């Protein structure tokens, strides 16, 4: 696929809302889309070692968007970073557009997985971390983003319970906590990961400095979870 991003233009955080605005139409997942915006920006701007030119490099960092609902923020960040042409954005959700209301890795440059059905990203991320290790690629980091209500899906717990004892220290999970789970207890998210041997921290999901520090803190021998708290979905 030819990438025709305007390379003369550098996009910043302040451009993201305009890029999201280009994706007009019936985006019923609007609020959920923005809950991920700051985490996505900090990851792609400061943390992930991946660029459009390196998107097939075996040694790149991987970011797996598991919570595929409301991908406007994801597409906006991918466009800002040159993975996706900005001119694709207005077609969001249309028949000929590669950009659906859930992303498809076969269609979206830079998307490591397709998502939409909840609870698939973390198990695939476990396999990706194991595969990189088996190929002798000990350096690349694997990141997966899930939602707090997505943790309802039992498949996540299969992955959480395995990854800790397996010592998958290149595996990182960000849980966007917008209090959208119907049945949850305060502090329950980090506690469940910690009980499985993960390194865990809970931070303000809108604070770029706090997110950056949480994303880059060392966690030798253990996988890492960052719980990013944002405004409650229904507040």
Please check whether residue 226 is in contact with residue 215, taking contact to mean a CB–CB distance below 8 angstroms.
Answer: yes
Select 142 or 226, whichever has its Cβ closest to other proteins: 142
Among 26, 95, 154, 183, binds other proteins (CB under 8 A): 154
Among 15, 27, 45, 104, binds other proteins (CB under 8 A): 104
Distances (CA, A) of 51 to 27, 54, 120: 28, 5, 24
162 binds other proteins (CB under 8 A): yes
Among 34, 35, 36, 128, binds other proteins (CB under 8 A): 128
Q: Measured between alpha carbons, how far is 96 from 33 in angstroms, rounded to an integer?
A: 22
We find the least distance from the C-beta atom of residue 157 to other proteins, in angstroms, to be 9
* CA proximity to 27, closest of 123, 99, 115: 99
Q: Measured between alpha carbons, how far is 147 from 140 in angstroms, rounded to an integer?
A: 23
58 binds other proteins (CB under 8 A): yes
Select 5 or 149, whichever has its Cβ closest to other proteins: 149
DSSP code, position 43: I
Select 158 or 207, whichever has its Cβ closest to other proteins: 158
138 binds other proteins (CB under 8 A): no
Residue 97: Cβ-neighbour burial (10 angstroms; 0-12, 13-18, 19+): middle
> In the complex, which residues of this chain contact other proteins (CB under 8 A)?
58, 104-106, 112-114, 117, 119-120, 122-135, 137, 154-155, 158-159, 161-162
């Amino acid at each position: 696929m030819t990438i025709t991003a305007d390379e003369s233009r550098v996009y910043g955080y302040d451009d993201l809302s305009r890029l999201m605005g280009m994706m007009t139409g019936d985006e019923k997942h609007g609020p959920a889309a923005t809950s991920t915006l700051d985490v996505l920006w900090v990851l792609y701007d400061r943390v992930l070692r991946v660029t459009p030119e390196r998107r097939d490099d075996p040694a790149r960092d991987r970011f797996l968007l598991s919570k595929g609902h409301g991908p406007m923020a994801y597409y906006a960040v991918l466009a800002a970073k040159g993975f996706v042409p900005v001119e694709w954005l207005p077609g969001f959700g249309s028949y000929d557009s590669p950009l659906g209301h859930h992303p498809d890795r076969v269609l979206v440059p830079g998307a490591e997985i397709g998502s939409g059905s909840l609870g698939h990203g973390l198990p695939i991320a476990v396999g990706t971390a194991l595969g990189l290790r088996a190929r002798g690629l000990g350096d690349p980091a694997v990141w997966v983003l899930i939602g707090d209500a997505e943790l309802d899906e039992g498949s996540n717990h299969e992955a959480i319970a395995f990854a800790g004892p397996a010592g998958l220290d290149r595996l990182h999970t960000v849980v966007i906590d917008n209090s959208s789970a119907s049945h949850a207890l305060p502090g329950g998210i980090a506690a469940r990961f910690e009980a499985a041997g993960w390194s865990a921290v809970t931070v303000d999901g809108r604070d770029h400095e706090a997110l950056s520090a949480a994303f880059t803190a060392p966690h030798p021998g253990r996988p890492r979870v960052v719980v990013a708290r944002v405004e409650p979905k229904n507040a």
